[in-house]
Structure 1
Amino acid sequence: MNRVVHPIEQESFRRLRARLDTSHFPPLTRAVVERVVHSSADLDYADELVMDEAELAKAHVALHAGAPVVADVEMVAAGITRRATVCRLKDAQAGPGLTRSAHAMRLAYEEVGPGALWVIGCAPTALEELLTLDASPALVIGLPVGFVGAAESKAALRESGLPAVSNVSEKGGSAVAAAALNALLYHPTSSEETL
């Protein structure tokens, strides 16, 4: 199903591409970079996002084959269009040494099991907890924001060897995390490209 792109979005991407050359990126990386920059109006993301095209390609296949999508907070879930998500934050409880966001990751993993796409845009503790689970993710979009733990949790994600999208600063947030997932949702599958 082809997505209808609003003229304002078309013009926004035209202006983005006039200010930022993304032509050297491979297709899925380019899609993620452009969608994240578009969602934030922050051109610096083009230099600080970290991802691997082969990992994105596998995640793209998994996503379009129906792999579950888990969001750390409702704001991330609300930003993901055209796809249902699992967000267990409302059911989570903080405990000794465990934030609500971390507990929500445990609850989500119990629900979806291995092979999901995890989209974390708010809580560094959610990303830290995910790294302790045997989640075997199709992809982790780890873009939590903040001055406490965000950059460190993203560095730990990169060091984990899990397939991931992250960045190398404290910047991030719900909008950019959802945008990265939407880039993969909106990117055509090989069968759609032939239509």
Structure 2
Amino acid sequence: MTELDHPITHQSFAIIDRELGELPLNEKEFAIARRVIHATADFEFASLLHFSPGSIESAIAALQNSCPIVTDVNMVKHGIAGMVAKTFNNPLFAAIDFAAEPLPGKTRTETGLLRCWERYPQAVYAIGNAPTALLALCKCCATAPVPPALVVGAPVGFVSVIESKKALAQLPVAQIRVEGRKGGSPVAAAIVNALLVLAWNDLNPKL
């Protein structure tokens, strides 16, 4: 599989590569940044993405071994479902689907995230919308004997967004984080899709 299967995608990536120029990113980090920029047309993400040491390798190994993927909302889930189907068919869940009603004092995504954690603590978690879900996940990770395979921290907005990302930054877990207020479901989906492509190509190198 290649990210350049479609001519328009090939042309778009060529434009991105030309305008990005040299970046202090390794090859796999660059592939993720490029896909995020392709999804958003926002070159600032090249400097906002933070990769913890070993995070990409941890995610690739987990995805190749059919690790579940948990998203906060259905928009992220739908954004990666196609790539999941083309690659490893990982079990795929949206936390919000686990909470028809929120627990007292919590949001639906936060409630659903806590329920997903009970079932899939070692999953790949992709948060692209709800900072409350990321904060809940951070609290779970802080006391977990075994951390999740990866946390994608990319909620967007103004309320609790920066706080949730700072909480994630303080944890010794594999993480790909978008600094500041920017992020969103397309960003979280783009990160996971890029990881799926990297994981697939790692097992199926080009001849």
* 2:160 aligns with one of 149, 157, 161: 149
**What are the equivalent positions in structure 2 for 1:32-181 lying under 5 Å apart?**
32-52=32-52, 54-80=54-80, 81-83=82-84, 84-92=91-99, 93-112=101-120, 114-133=121-140, 134=144, 136-181=147-192
The answer (yes or no) to whether the contact 1:64–1:189 under 8 Å persists in 2 is no
Deviations 1:74-121 (A, max 9, x none): 000010032241113133122322111111101212232x32100000
Deviates more, 1:28-37 or 1:121-130: 28-37
Residue 26 (1) aligns with residue 37 (2): no
Structure 1 residue aligned with 2:87: none
> For the aligned residues, what is the CA RMSD?
1.8
Q: Give identity over the alignment, percent.
A: 36
Query: The residue matched to 1:118 in structure 2 has which SS?
Result: strand
2: distance between equivalents of 1:87 and 1:15?
33
Unmatched tracts of structure 2, length 5 or more: 85-90
CA spacing shift, 1:53–1:7, aligned 2, 3 Å: farther
TM-score, with structure 2 as normaliser: 0.87
Structure 2 residue aligned with 1:193: 205
Unmatched tracts of structure 1, length 5 or more: none
Query: The residue matched to 2:176 in structure 1 has which SS?
Result: strand
